[in-house]
Amino acid sequence: MDYRIEKDTLGEMKVPADKYWGAQTQRSKQNFPISVEKMPHEVIRAFAILKKSAAKANNNLGLLDKQKADAIGYAADQIVAGKLDDHFPLVVWQTGSGTQSNMNVNEVIAYVGTEWLKEQGSNVTLHPNDDVNKSQSSNDTYPAAMHIAFVLKLEDYVLPAVKTLKGTMNEKMKAFQEVVKIGRTHLQDATPLTLGQEISGWHRMLEKSEAMISESLDSVRDLAIGGTAVGTGLNAHPDFSEAVTKAIIEETGKTFRSASNKFHALTSHDDTVHVHGALKGLAADLMKIANDVRWLASGPRSGIGEITIPANEPGSSIMPGKVNPTQPEAVTMAAVQVMGNDAAIGFAASQGNFELNVFKPVIAYNFLQSCQLMADCMLSFDERCVKGLEPELEQIEKYLRDSLMLVTALNPHIGYENAAKIAKKAFADDTNLKEAAVELELLTEEEFEKYVNPKEMTYPK
């Protein structure tokens, strides 16, 4: 392999000739051969947005000439466009401040920006620290990039996915509003409801999760940039933080704020814990919905079988003809992972000492994985399962007709204890409620039919 020599304050390093990173990135690559989880591309692209915005701010404040600011902006745009992904090799398991990834971005921007300047006929070169990292520290850039990445991921991917699944649930809720079925509580028969009403509960879960994510998202709109090393803003212009934040807003079209207390912004991630809690709430709802779907679709002959879902692939390598609820299973596994991520984020946010939390990369990695999992599984579940969900009317009618819990409608007319006698006799004699009521001489057939109307039980007056 061809190499070139790059230098940092510790000396020289051999860097692959076809890569744009520098000595500090190479050191990290060699010093942390730990697992395979790379720094999320969302963080890298958020860093690029931040670096471009910082260059604009420094230029506007008279601290960086326009030529350099333009070069930094050009290189940052290449990163955001995904054209330089091969030049960010570092793993999550590195320094807890994310310093090496900050420098990876600085070095790549400096290299690409300098090459661009050469193409423009300029002899100016970009320095990764003095120019690209001007007025910044890893300690304020990494948490700022995290927040930028979180807002973009939630607003542009997670919330639209919730909206998509919610829309399909709304369609199914309306389509099946008159399909009367037996309800279940404690995995036991309960009083009737409609399939549309049952699905309306799922729809409302998504509405609530959507609202909770949107509301909690406000807490990560605060940016640490401008705090530099410990929150004091050393080596940064007093107006730098506000200027960068304004540039980020212009660049992304999203709402952000300069954090009012930079000491908090560097050392605490309570805001991320809060937002991820809403994601965990979504995971809990999706777990519930997916489990309901696979229970209701169980069978086809030895389960509940009140609904059918698409048969997407063979379900067994040994049992011919078997089809499994694979989409709900994928959703529930994703939900379990998000719940585990929430624990990891909570533990990580409680750590660090004094002026800096040094668990930032693992927080970012787990948060963004949760976002990706939730959005991906909702879109897949919607397309490959929920859209094809249909009622099995014959089975629904059979369970409804045979249920003993219809007797609940008799409580106002003959009392709870007499109604219980009817249910117990019907169960013991393996007969239906009407026959038991007449035999006990508690009701006539006409009275029973008048009082026990499953459809009317779903819309009580």
> What is the set of active-site residues?
186, 316
Q: Which of 215, 232, 221 has the alpha carbon at shortest distance from 146?
A: 221
> How far is the C-alpha of 185 from the C-alpha of 188, rounded, in Å?
5
User: What is the DSSP code string of 351-414?
Assistant: --BTTB-S-HHHHHHHHHHHHHHHHHHHHHHHHHTGGG-EE-HHHHHHHHHH-GGGGGGGHHHH
Phi, psi of 51 (to 5 degrees): -65, -40
Kind of pairing between the strands at 222-223 and 257-258: parallel
Q: Which residues have CB under 8 Å from 412's CB, separation 6+?
A: none
How many residues comprise the chain? 461
Tokens of 375: 């959005």
Find residue 192's DSSP bridge partners. Answer: 182
Cβ within 8 Å of residue 415, ≥6 positions away: none
Nearest to 140 by CA among 234, 253, 65, 248: 234
Structure tokens at 41: 């591309």
d(CA 442, CA 418): 8
Phi, psi of 73 (to 5 degrees): -60, -40
Tell me, letter by letter, the H, E, C secondary structure of 265-317.
HHHCCHHHHHHHHHHHHHHHHHHHHHHHHHHHCCCCCCCCCCEECCCCCCCCC
**CB-CB contact of 77 with 52 (8 Å):** yes
Tally of CB atoms within 10 A around 303: 13
Q: CA–CA distance from 203 to each of 172, 286, 425 (Å)?
A: 10, 11, 39
CA distance 249 to 71: 20
- For every residue of 143-189, DSSP letters joined together read HHHHHHHHHHHIIIIIHHHHHHHHHHHHHHHHHTTT-EEEEEETTEE
d(CA 424, CA 291): 31
